[in-house]
Amino acid sequence: MSFINTLNAAWTKSNSLLMVGLDPDITKMPAELAGRPDSIFQFCKQIVDATAPFVCGFKPQIAYFAAERAEGQLEDLCAYIREAYPQLPLVLDAKRGDIGATATQYAKEVFGRYNAHAVTVSPYLGADSVEPYLEWEDRGVIVLCRTSNPGGSDLQFLMTDGVPLYLRVADLVANKWNKTGQCGLVVGATFPKELAAVRHAVGNDIPLLVPGIGAQGGDIAATCAAGCNAQKTGMMINSSRAILYAKGSGHWTDAAAAAAKQTRDDINAHR
């Protein structure tokens, strides 16, 4: 199935808008994995298995793997998720932004090498930087719009003909770039007013990847009120550190599962 169809099915079957971000920090991983050549893969695999019943998808962040020369472990992880949980979207958080032949190679990396359902990209270089990803017609292209970091305001709030840049990006994606019907937007939970403005601007059908709850402090109730569509879905609400490194009295995978379940339940209580 296409990315959008997979995502819609996952929202329904899992009864969840929670996406777990896979950001494996080797300084925070359990001692039992220390020294293993596949420690990053094993950590993420066990997180995936523990949290899969409570999520609508997984979002590996490529930088955490590349910094440790662990791209091979990322390949193995993506293959495992695709095989073991084919019903759950796999979004590769890469935030790529380049043009022409280089963008074509990045698209091949994301969708060919890692076989991701979707990828995050930057809109800063314009339409031709996004086009190579759209050539993979069944895959998702999730464009940075109003990001969760405070510094995003440096550019995203600049006015263009009376409209802030982030809403200009939302309009471009929804009405010009979404040729395959597989596009989405990244909008942070830390800015619920702007999240509501984006949802209003793009309507019900554009999915929003929403980072910023958990360790970044985004409010779940405000996020759901601002970002849900008419079907009370429409968002992949991402949590990474608060789930990966959750504390509990039992095994670390039990703590992660409990944190994921609680977050899923909190989101469901407010949508």
Euclidean distance between CA atoms 73 and 24, whole angstroms:
11
Nearest to 97 by CA among 130, 137, 71: 130
Residues 213, 70: Cα–Cα separation, whole Å: 27
Tokens (6 digits) for 29 = 């991983």
Catalytic annotation on 95?
yes
Catalytic residue among 28, 95, 179, 232: 95
Catalytic annotation, residues: 95
